[in-house]
Every structure is written in C-alpha cells, then in structure tokens.
Structure 1
Amino acid sequence: MTVIDRATVPTPPVLEAAASGAKPSAPQVTAALLEAERQTKAERRQLAPEALLGTWRLRFTAPKKPAYKAGKPQGSGFYMPGVAIASLCFSRDDDQLTIQNQLQVGPAKLRFTGPAKFLPKKNLLAFDFARLQVLVGNLTLINVPLRSKAAKAGDFAATSVAKLPFFSFFLAEEGYVAARGRSGGLALWVRK
C-alpha cells in the first residue's frame, strides 16, 4: 500500500460535472460517490493529509447511508442550497491539524473548531469540536468552549477514534474531496 498525494481514482464524469457547478441527478452523483469509494477501498489507496488542507464548500450530500444492495447503488442525496453555505477548513500548525466546520446563512455564521488527526491506513480524519462561535458579519456574539469527549478524557491525541466523530475520505482531487461521515452519509466538497 502506498501513500499518494491525491486518491487518483478514475473520477466518473458525473463527479467532475457536479464539482464544477453542473447538477447531474442526485442518484447519479450518489452512485458515482459509491463507485469512487468502492475503488479506493478495493485498491487500498491512501491519501496524504496535505491533500485535504484548505477550505472546502459542501456541494452535495447523501445523508441516508447510501450503499450497494444486490450489486446496485441505493440512496439519494441533495445539493446544498445557495442560501446555506456549509464549509470545512483543514489547517496545520506545526504537527497539529485543526478543523473548522461552519454554516453560513446570510451574515449569520455558526462555527465549530477543534483539533483533528489523520489516520492514513484508513484515510480517516478524526476530530473533536472544542469551541463554538456564533457570528453576525465580523461581530462575534458567542464564543464558548465545548465540553467535548476528548476534553472529558483530558487529551485529544490519546482519545480513541471510536470515541470521536470522523470523515473517511476516499477521493481527493485538486478541486474537490469526498468522504463518508461516521453517521454513514456521503459528501462531496469543492475547494472554496
């Protein structure tokens, strides 16, 4: 198994189209995400965490645990509406990864931030939200620490992934990434 900068699975044209702004049907995008996930797992491809760094806008999500049933892709999803902008930002300071998850509607922003760690054997990015902020424009209305699972345990680095939320990434291209969340849903993010 080798580590690569990008999971260079032959990307279905459907995902390229969805990432570039077109809107293929939700079942088509879900099927393409399932196929990319299947190929990455079958070939045991590893992503480098650097491939995930940056800010990503949620483009498409299939939250109802899509999967193959009897060899056929099952499940559907939806494109994020333009009025609600959901984004993820991954950054690194020295050896520490940080995640920021934000939902913006108009000038209002709900933002969660915290530490993250990448486990390359399974392409898992585990994280723990340690701070909640509510902003309107650049004015911070709420900025409070969260009593997270790792905070209760006392040390994020030592906290088992089994106790943390995570994303299992299976596709990382220059302009978009795709992952399955701990809850089983699939998501496609485009670079912001």
Structure 2
Amino acid sequence: MQDDSILLLDRAVNSVLAHSPDKPKPETVVEALLKAERLAKTSKHRHYFEEFLGTWRLCFVTGTQKTRQQAGNLIGSGLYLPPWVEIELSYLSLAQSPDLDGCEAIGRVRNQVNLGMLRVTLSGPTKFIPPKNIVAFDFTQMQVKVFGAKLYGGDIRGGQSGEAGFYRDRIAKQAFFAYFLVTDTAIAARGRGGGLALWGRMKG
C-alpha cells in the first residue's frame, strides 16, 4: 500500500496534466513532498537512471529559500505552474560508465520551456550518482524558436569542450537534482539551491 503522501502527490500531478481545477492545496503538496523526502532518507531506497528516462512535465515548485524571500506571498509555500507555462524535462541514456568516479550512468538532459509561441530548449550532459539518487547536469546547447521559426541554435557555456569537463568535475561544482520520489507517474527532487520540484510523466 502506498503512503498517503505519495497518493496526494500523484493526485497533484494528475490534476495538472489533466488541466483539472480540482487540485490539492499547495500547502498540502509541500507537506507531502517533505514527508516523501523524509521517508526516502529513512528507507535509503536506491534508484536507477533507467527509471528517469522519458519526458516529465514540471507541475509544482517551492522555489529556493532566496527566491521565496524575494517573491514573498507570490510563491508562498509553493505553487502550481500555470497552464500557459509548460516546462518539460527529458532524460536520455547514453552509456554505462563504471570508470567514472562515483558515476553509474551518463546521458543527456533537455529542458524545454513553452510560453505561447516562444519555445526555449536547453540541453546537455547528465550523470547519475547513486546511492543518493543524484542527477547532475549542465546545459551546453540552446535553441530558441518563435512561431516554429528558429531564431537561435548553438553552444552555450563552452559547448562540447564544456561537456568534456563536466564528466570530470566534482558534484560540488555542478547543478543537480537529488531525487527522493520516483514512481511510474511522478518524480520529485530537491535542487542544489534547496527548492523542491514535482514532475509528472508525459504520455506518448
């Protein structure tokens, strides 16, 4: 039987993906995320990079402590993303990498933001580091489209040369998500800045 917090988070994700107005209250989602994080620390369940493969839509965020202080009541304890903002996170596996210190698998990550007719896509390398279920990443490519026409496409942050250094660098220098919830329909993580995020799996 699933924990009540997991069931509530699944309900929150499903309500966003279905564009349903019947969503759990933001404060209850935050409580469920924190409980799921505590349970994960207690159980120390080990996940595998294959569980993250696919495309996930960002449904709920709390923001970092700094952004919460700056935004005040705008964010509150946390918020659902509005339906007119679509942010999708995709993971693609490339290879097993037992030769990299502490890293089990490497792959690619893509973060795509759709805002009306504007689409911004960032992509780059990623690596999975057990047993804390950390996915570190860097964005080295960017593409910008408006009304389907490409305005920009090219390297950022050093491009391919930056990718080579990414696999050698320590996790302390990199952006990452520490995942504490991984199910068939939802994933949740705490980012390096301390904020929490909840995604739902996209079908198809």
CA distance in 2, matches of 1:41, 1:54: 25
CA contact (8 A) 1:176 1:188 kept: yes
Structure 2: runs of 5 or more not aligned: 16-21, 66-75, 97-105
What residue is the counterpart of 2:70 in the other structure?
Answer: none
CA distance in 1, matches of 2:94, 2:2: 29
User: Where is the helix percentage greater, Structure 1 or Structure 2?
Assistant: 2
Q: Does 1:134 align with 2:153?
A: no
Name which of structure 1's ranges 136-145 and 164-173 shifts more when overlaid on structure 2. Answer: 136-145
CA distance in 2, matches of 1:31, 1:174: 21
What residue is the counterpart of 2:23 in the other structure?
Answer: 23
CA distance in 2, matches of 1:148, 1:188: 30
Say if 1:30 and 1:151 are closer, same or farther in 2 by CA, change over 3 A: farther
Distance apart, 1:153 and its partner CA: 8.6
User: Where is the strand percentage greater, Structure 1 or Structure 2?
Assistant: 1
Distance apart, 1:10 and its partner CA: 2.8
TM score, norm. by length of structure 2: 0.79
CA distance in 2, matches of 1:157, 1:105: 32
What residue is the counterpart of 1:5 in the other structure?
Answer: none
Distance apart, 1:190 and its partner CA: 0.4
CA contact (8 A) 1:132 1:145 kept: yes
Aligned pairs (5 A) from 1:28-43: 28-43=28-43
Distance apart, 1:137 and its partner CA: 4.2
CA distance in 2, matches of 1:148, 1:122: 28
CA contact (8 A) 2:141 2:159 kept: no
What residue is the counterpart of 1:51 in the other structure?
Answer: 51
Structure 1: runs of 5 or more not aligned: 1-7, 66-74
Q: Does 1:171 align with 2:172?
A: no
| Two-structure CA RMSD over aligned residues (Å) | 2.1
User: How many equivalent residue pairs?
Assistant: 176
Say if 1:139 and 1:149 are closer, same or farther in 2 by CA, change over 3 A: closer
Letter matched to residue 24 of structure 2? P
What residue is the counterpart of 2:71 in the other structure?
Answer: none
Equivalent in 3, 8, 11 of residue 10 of structure 1: 3
Letter matched to residue 92 of structure 2? S
Identity fraction in percent: 36
CA distance in 1, matches of 2:2, 2:131: 17
Q: 4+ runs of 1 displaced by more than 3 Å?
A: 148-154
